[in-house]
């Protein structure tokens, strides 16, 4: 039997956020997602089975967990993302309210709602934020909104995400501001530097090796009209949206659209053979006015593998994924980095323990 805080997971995907919460000592009792491949992946790695389908069709099953300690999850973000159409009428945007409906149903002691940074900072969504906070307050929750960069917490990826944390308390001395302060202190104590992409890939081995076998075969060709930026790792030197990664730095946000030419690029010669960066050299020549090359890029450049993408998202090394390769990349890109989820879960657990005498029961 597991002990510790209990939790219900919503919009669970392949289970990245669940991994972090479980590592933090939470006992996840229920999980759900609408993506069949993601549910299959979840089931391969967790002790419970993910309920596959529309969250709104599982009200009876979920209601059994009324009074659970924590509800967590990230409603689909495409409706709010700057990478999407930012359409407030997008059906997926409405799932934010389905999330709150579940909080209202279960009355947990606390909740964590994860989403894209744009929902927290873009003026277009100010009315959505206000509505969310008003609804949470009407249910008895103090709330705090944080924007966290996964790279600050040991994740080798510059991935900024929003977290709204709610705490159900009947203690009038606990305010939204004091909750934010408590969480910020806990999070500051857990900051950690990530490993470089080169170290991560050397740990896994060359693409195609036993520990790094799920190779992405999407070709890399030179852009006929390169878009140049100051950094070799910005702009567009090659066709497609998959930009090169600085081997001795960290990755940019991994998108759910990986698997084709939107998959990031690495330089194996630089990583394994100590050669100078081909990308940096090519970028320098372009900046000096040399005409762009045409055709295929050299073999030392390749797309990152599924295994590398999993590691960048800090999934356990033995994590299994179901579905086609594109489905695997989609699941990885949609996930909350496991280590970031663990840090947030530990921080919430500490704050809940601090206020354990005043947390309102369902």
At 258, list the tokens: 């990986």
Does 113 qualify as catalytic in the annotation?
no
- How far apart, in whole angstroms, are the C-alpha atoms of residue 22 and residue 42? 13
At 104, list the tokens: 């209202």
pLDDT score at 125: 81
At 81, list the tokens: 């993302």
- How far apart, in whole angstroms, are the C-alpha atoms of residue 143 and residue 72? 14
At 288, list the tokens: 């000096």
Q: Which has the closest alpha carbon to 68: 314, 352, 354, 355? A: 352
Select the more confidently predicted residue: 2 or 223: 223
Annotated catalytic residue, options 39, 52, 77, 216: 77
Select the more confidently predicted residue: 51 or 95: 51
Mean pLDDT (whole number) for 111-123: 90
Residues 12, 25, 114, 104: is their CA dihedral positive or negative?
positive
Cβ-Cβ contacts under 8 Å for 110 (sequence gap 6 or more): 69, 70, 71, 165, 166, 167, 168, 348, 352, 359
Domain 6-193+336-354, what fold? Rossmann fold (3.40.50)
Q: Where are the domains of the chain?
A: 6-193+336-354, 197-330
pTM of the model: 0.93
Select the more confidently predicted residue: 85 or 359: 359
- How far apart, in whole angstroms, are the C-alpha atoms of residue 50 and residue 42? 6
At 79, list the tokens: 């409706």
Task: Please give the share of the chain, as a percent, with pLDDT higher than 70.
Answer: 93
Tens of pLDDT, residue by residue over 142-182, are 999 999 999 999 999 999 999 999 999 888 888 999 999 99
Domain 197-330, what fold? DNA Methylase; Chain A, domain 2 (3.90.120)
């Amino acid at each position: 039997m597991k002990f510790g805080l209990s939790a219900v997971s919503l919009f669970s995907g392949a289970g990245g956020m669940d991994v972090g919460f479980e590592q933090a000592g939470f006992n996840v009792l229920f999980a759900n997602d609408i993506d069949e491949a993601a549910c299959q992946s979840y089931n391969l790695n967790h002790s419970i089975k993910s309920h596959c389908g529309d969250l709104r069709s599982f009200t009876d099953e979920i209601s059994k967990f009324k009074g659970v300690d924590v509800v967590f999850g990230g409603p689909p973000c495409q409706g709010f993302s700057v990478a999407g159409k930012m359409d407030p009428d997008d059906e997926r945007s409405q799932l934010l309210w389905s999330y709150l409906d579940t909080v209202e149903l279960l009355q947990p002691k606390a909740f964590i709602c994860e989403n894209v940074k744009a929902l927290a900072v873009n003026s277009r969504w100010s009315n959505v934020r206000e509505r969310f906070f008003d609804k949470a307050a009407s249910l008895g929750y103090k709330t705090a909104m944080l924007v966290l960069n996964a790279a600050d917490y040991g994740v080798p990826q510059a991935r900024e995400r929003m977290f709204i944390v709610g705490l159900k308390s009947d203690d009038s001395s606990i305010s939204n501001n004091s909750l934010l302060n408590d969480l910020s202190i806990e999070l500051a104590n857990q900051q950690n530097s990530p490993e470089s992409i080169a170290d991560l890939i050397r740990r896994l081995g060359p693409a195609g090796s036993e520990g790094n076998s799920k190779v992405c075969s999407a070709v890399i060709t030179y852009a006929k009209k390169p878009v140049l930026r100051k950094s070799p790792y910005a702009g567009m030197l090659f066709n497609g949206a998959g930009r090169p990664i600085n081997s001795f730095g960290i990755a940019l946000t991994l998108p759910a659209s990986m698997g084709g030419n939107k998959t990031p690029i690495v330089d194996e010669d630089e990583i394994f053979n100590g050669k100078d960066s081909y990308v940096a050299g090519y970028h320098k020549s372009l900046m000096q006015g040399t005409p762009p090359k045409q055709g295929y890029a050299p073999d030392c450049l390749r797309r990152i593998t599924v295994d590398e993408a999993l590691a960048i998202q800090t999934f356990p090394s033995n994590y299994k994924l179901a579905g086609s390769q594109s489905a695997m990349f989609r699941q990885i890109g949609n996930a909350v980095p496991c280590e970031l989820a663990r840090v947030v879960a530990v921080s919430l657990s500490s704050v809940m323990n601090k206020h354990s005498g005043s947390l309102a029961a369902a």
